[in-house]
């Protein structure tokens, strides 16, 4: 149902599978078929999760999967009631997303450009690819899954806009700045040159529909590999690797746009958020920064 009717992404389907497998193991231990568990037993399951030390966010996610499961059974007539409908999600504090300052992003981009320029031999193409990935991340605010699965022909004819297929199969258009276009052009020139050299030597080159091809099972660069390379670049740049990730750069993209007066609805569209309440978290980031600015510099704040 999630796949056919809602168009859920593969990552979403796998997450639901893991959570329901965990809940199924609880049902086995309770010696009750999963479809027959009652409200109190589901509450007891949440208590087990708490005892296991799971974070509030993890418990909420697992409860969400359980709710969807019983709602499905009820709608399909496989149960006469929905035992999970009365259960409230665990309360959690609203955490502000990690982000980077404009100066930190500029420094990271500068180091990536230097690494790409100075790399030689087999290290050259990976360095140029990482620069391209970084420029694209910050220029577009793409989700990491959207970025690594970009098709090679993702740019529109005028090269100033790209079409992105996001969650639930929803498509959106995102503008592309000059730095990102230049980085893509440079990367593709080196990628094609490598393929040409391989063909001359009688070797198989990358013949992939993806912009960032790989010889792995998926055929494209993996999220894990991108994260690994970004953290390696953070070390070279003198930044804390734990503070650098594709998602942090997506946060930086949104925060920096709002700082400069971008409309919240426009940012929502660029990020591909279905609900504007998801985008509003970035306004809290700005509020916190302003509060900190006053506390640090206003003479009457001490």
Q: Tell me, yes or no, if 107 is annotated catalytic.
A: no
Among residues 230, 242, 246, 225, which one has the least CA distance to residue 146? 246
Active site residue 284: no
- Catalytic position from the list 129, 223, 251, 273: 273
- Active-site residue identified among 59, 62, 143, 251: 143
Active site residue 247: yes
* 79 is annotated as an active-site residue: no
- Annotate the chain with DSSP letters as a single string: -TTTTT---HHHHHHHHHHHHHHHHHHHHTTS-GGG--HHHHHHHHHHHHHTT--HHHHHHHHHHHHHHHHHHHHTTS-SS-TTTTPPPPP---PPPP---HHHHHHHHHHHHHHHHH--GGGHHHHHHHHHHHHHHHHH---HHHHHT-BTT-B-TTSSEEEEE-GGG-EEEEE--HHHHHHHHHHHHHHHHHHHHHHHTT------SBSSB-SSTTSB--HHHHHHHHHHHHHHHTS-GGG--HHHHHHHHHHHHHHTT--HHHHHHHHT-SSHHHHTHHHHHHHHHHHHHHHHH-TT--
What φ, ψ does residue 192 adopt, rounded to 5°? -70, -35
Q: Is 273 marked active-site?
A: yes
Whether 163 and 227 have beta carbons less than 8 Å apart is answered as no
Q: 298 an active-site residue? A: no
How far is it, in rounded angstroms, from Cα 249 to Cα 247? Answer: 5
Residue of 129, 250, 251, 256 marked active site: 250
Active-site residue list: 143, 167, 247, 250, 273, 282
């Amino acid at each position: 149902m999630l796949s056919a009717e809602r168009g859920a992404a593969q990552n979403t389907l796998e997450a639901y599978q893991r959570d329901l497998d965990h809940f199924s193991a609880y049902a086995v231990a309770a010696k009750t078929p999963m479809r027959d568990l009652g409200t109190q037993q589901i509450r007891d399951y949440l208590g087990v999760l708490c005892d296991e030390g799971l974070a509030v966010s993890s418990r909420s996610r697992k409860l969400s999967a359980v709710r969807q499961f019983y709602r499905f059974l009820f709608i399909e007539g496989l149960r006469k009631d929905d035992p999970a409908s009365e259960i409230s999600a665990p309360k959690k504090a609203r955490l502000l997303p990690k982000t980077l300052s404009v100066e930190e992003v500029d420094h990271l981009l500068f180091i990536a450009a230097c690494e790409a320029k100075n790399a030689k031999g087999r290290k050259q193409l990976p360095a140029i690819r990482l620069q391209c990935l970084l420029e694209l991340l910050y220029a577009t605010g793409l989700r990491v899954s959207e970025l690594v699965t970009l098709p090679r022909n993702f740019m529109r004819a005028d090269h100033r806009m790209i079409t992105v297929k996001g969650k639930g199969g929803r498509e959106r258009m995102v503008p592309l700045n000059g730095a990102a276009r230049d980085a893509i052009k440079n990367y593709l020139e080196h990628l094609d040159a490598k393929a040409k050299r391989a063909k001359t030597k009688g070797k198989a080159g990358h013949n992939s529909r993806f912009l960032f091809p790989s010889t792995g099972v998926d055929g494209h660069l993996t999220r894990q590999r991108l994260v690994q390379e970004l953290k390696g670049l953070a070390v070279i740049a003198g930044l804390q690797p734990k503070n650098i990730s594709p998602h942090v750069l997506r946060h930086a993209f949104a925060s920096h746009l709002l700082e400069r007066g971008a409309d919240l609805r426009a940012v929502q569209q660029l990020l591909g958020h279905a609900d504007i309440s998801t985008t509003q978290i970035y306004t809290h980031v700005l509020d916190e920064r302003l509060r900190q600015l006053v506390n640090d510099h206003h003479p009457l704040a001490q």
